[in-house]
Amino acid sequence: MKEITREWVRSLLPIRRPEAHKGSFGRVLVVAGSREMCGAGLLCAKSALLAGAGLVFWALPESMQPSFAAALPEAITLPLPETESGKISAEGWPVLKNFCSKHGPSLLVVGPGMGESPLLPILFRENTLPTVIDADALNYLAGVQEFPRVPAIFTPHPGEAARLLGQDFTPAKEEERLSALQGLVALTKAVCVLKGRQTLVGAPHQTEVYRNTTGGVALAKGGSGDVLSGVIAGLWAQLGSAEKFDISSALKACLCGVYVHGLAGDLAAKIKTDYGVLAGFTAENIPSAIKEIVE
């Protein structure tokens, strides 16, 4: 097992060339949120921007759009039709498809706070974008056991991982956690991030497993996973735009993403303690974490 170190992450982070413009750093499409879990998309979209994505588009239930567009003016918001329970409806697909044709997103992040959205089956059937899959999108795929053929990143916590695998494991036992990660990679044929203490990362066609060395109990708060999926997406947008959206750039984004996210949590805890860190404050510390890595 190889440890993810600061020096290694420094060498992998995307380069910000002086002649670049916002289009150089990728366009992230976030499909996230519902009336019940409205903050998840905000945390994800904001974190993608703070990690360096050039543009972030956020598709969300139409009733949420006015207030959340004001909360994150740096993102371009797309209101989608919703069900009576406040989840994005299947009728949102034509709207989303037309938006993508016009704006050309580089990659998709799907799942945070969506609940059992009727859009999910259509989105996974029709999507051709490289995809970061989190939260409720993981739960949907666990039910159907059909996985995207596009380059993808899965970011489950242990409970979501167990549902995908169809079997429980003990996260505290290192050998079981390692076996679960390897099982996820084999099942999904994607880069997988198994969240938890010393988060693990694995990729197809590689025997090596990578263990994060940042982060602690301060991250044990609701919304931390939404921040992580946004960080990874923001970094992949840059790396993929500079290189290619494939397994190689996806793995680099995950290695950098888990380290940056963990370090942001560590920096936040120095101010707020392990007790008082909220996911939004972790997100605010993303730039400080990157600064500490590169300097």
SS (H, E, C) the chain: CEEECHHHHHHHCCCCCCCCCHHHHCEEEEECCCCCCCHHHHHHHHHHHHCCCCEEEEEEECCCHHHHHHHCCCCEEEEECECCCCCECCCHHHHHHHHHHHHCCCEEEECCCCCCCCHHHHHHHHCCCCEEECCHHHHHHHHHCCCCCCCEEECCCHHHHHHHHCCCCCCCCHHHHHHHHHHHHHHHCCEEEECCCCCEEECCCCCCCEEECCCCHHHCCCCHHHHHHHHHHHHHHHHHHHCCCCHHHHHHHHHHHHHHHHHHHHHHHHHHHHHHCCHHHHHHCHHHHHHHHHC
- Is 242 annotated in a binding site? The answer is no
pLDDT at 95: 99
Q: Is residue 172 in a domain? A: yes
CA atoms within 13 A on the CB side of 23: 2
pLDDT at 145: 97
Report residue 215 CA to chain centroid gap: 16
- Is 172 annotated in a binding site? The answer is no
pLDDT at 9: 99
- Is 226 annotated in a binding site? The answer is yes
Q: Is residue 131 in a domain? A: yes
Q: Is residue 16 in a domain? A: no
pLDDT at 30: 99
- Is 276 annotated in a binding site? The answer is no
pLDDT at 244: 98
Q: Is residue 224 in a domain? A: yes
pLDDT at 247: 98
CB 26 within 8 A of CB 52: no
pLDDT at 4: 99
- Is 205 annotated in a binding site? The answer is no
pLDDT at 267: 99
What's the pLDDT tens digit per position in 148-174? Answer: 999 999 999 999 999 999 999 999 999
pLDDT at 76: 98
- Is 197 annotated in a binding site? The answer is yes
CA–CA separation, 137 vs 132, rounded Å? 10
- Is 198 annotated in a binding site? The answer is yes
- Is 264 annotated in a binding site? The answer is no
What's the pLDDT tens digit per position in 59-72? Answer: 999 999 999 999 99
pLDDT at 136: 99
* Burial class of 177 by CB neighbour count within 10 A (0 to 12, 13 to 18, 19+): buried
Structural domain that includes position 34: 2-9+21-289
- Is 195 annotated in a binding site? The answer is yes
Angle between helices 39-50 and 286-294 (to 10 degrees): 30
Q: Is residue 115 in a domain? A: yes
What is the length of the chain?
A: 295
What's the pLDDT tens digit per position in 107-133? Answer: 999 999 999 999 999 999 999 999 999
Q: Is residue 176 in a domain? A: yes
List the chain residues with pLDDT less than 70.
Answer: none
Give the domain CATH number at 172.
3.40.1190.20
pLDDT at 35: 96
Counted domains in the chain: 1
- Is 92 annotated in a binding site? The answer is no
Q: What b/e readout covers 237-265, taking b as 16+ CB neighbours within 10 angstroms? A: bbbbbeeebebebbbbbbbbbbbbbbbbb
Q: Is residue 76 in a domain? A: yes
